[in-house]
Structure 1
Amino acid sequence: MAITGVLFDFSGTLMRIEPARSWLTAALEATGARLPAQDVDRYAAALEEAGGLPGATPPRAIPPELEELWRDRDKQAAGHRELYTGLARQVPLPDERLYDELYERHRRPAAWHPYPDSLPVLRALAGRGLRVAVVSNIGWDLRPVFRAHGLDELVDAYVLSYEHGTVKPDPALFLAACGALGLAPEQALMVGDDPAKDGGAAALGCAVHLVEHLPVEERPDGLRPVLGLLG
């Protein structure tokens, strides 16, 4: 059966979160809090090691009181916020306001950078008449990010885990995406960066293509092979 639609993961596939240093710097500027310039890199590294930046490095260790939130982090919005502000609080910062601002910053369009070929590939798919859905394990609404970066008009449907109360590789999310596009699973290609989560679509009969979760400057054309898979 011919592929007539593509399902894309979000973080690490179509876009990448900003580096921890610029994330922290933006929060400092927004709150007016201050850190000695020579300490910004150190604090940013500590926050990333603690896992406080969603979409970046997972925490090296999860505090026992946050373990349940970690397991269910992408199933509902309030828990997502509680988890990541809790992880950030493992690092003592000079202003309490920074923890909430860091969380807010990571949801803003400026914190996300599309991979260089995301827009061209989505445009090419639209030009071929293929429908597109974004299927993401996430605890907040990413639609404003896509709108701000000019990608929203090229996405036909969003299936976000926190809106469904379950996460990939649960077949329910892939089925919801296929249903939203009016496709049978055999007509869809799932593109993502996680073999376990995104690769779960294969159990339904979807084709799967994996990309590397790299900084945007290191992966200029990782999505372009998708076009070759569609004939």
Structure 2
Amino acid sequence: MAAQIPNGRFYELPPIALGATLGEVLIPVLDHVEELVSGTDHPVEADRFLGAVLFTDVVRSTDLLAEVGDNRFARLLGAHDRLVRAEVEAGGGTLVGIAGDGTLSVFDGPVAALQCAHRIIRSTSTLGFSVRSGVHVGSVTRAGPGLTGMTVHIGARIAASSGPGEVRCSQAVRELAVGGDFDFTDLGRHRLRGVPRQVQVFRATVGARPAQPALPPRPTVSDRAVLTMARRAPGMLRELARLADRRNKAVRRPR
């Protein structure tokens, strides 16, 4: 077939890696097609960038489905998807994809991703959903409308290890999120499925901000008048206080 195509060449691609996504399989094929059509090499690094990926997933969604029924669950899931999209866009991120009750979003930095994760957990709880999430940062590759790469894979596995209402992240996220008003709890090194090395995982919680000292009450006009009298005529103020005390005693005296 290659011999029958003008300027055609035969390429034997390497075997498909176990667990590869459809996007990862098609990228080298599309690169060769683009090179044939355009006559120029595909810039391999053009679709790679540094990003923070956020995965969310509804916990025990099957139990909720059995409880509320198909129709009610479909409406709740639609409302969940709209809430997630609104929160992601409000945080400056991009909702990359929705698969069932799970979502993938990407942000420019990990602080925005962590903040969005906590907002999604709070907002979707009003629908009766319990959501877990995971955040990782690293180099990702665009594959059509989706994202691929080990960063995406690790982020998904971190989210899968989270509990209900929990936000977990990698050590890279923790190091880059300094000053983001988050507290991080070290959960130790985890062996995540499909990841060749162990990953240090942290729980990210919103840090408690120090309470602002209460401002003293502003003095009223009467307060300022009394203070002025106390400075200028302390004897008169003492006499007024003595007369007021005498009047109060007279009022309380039984008749």
- The TM-score normalised by the length of structure 1 is 0.27
Higher strand share: 2
- Structure with bigger RCO (C-alpha 8 Å, 6+ apart): 1
* Higher Cα radius of gyration: 2
- The TM-score normalised by the length of structure 2 is 0.26
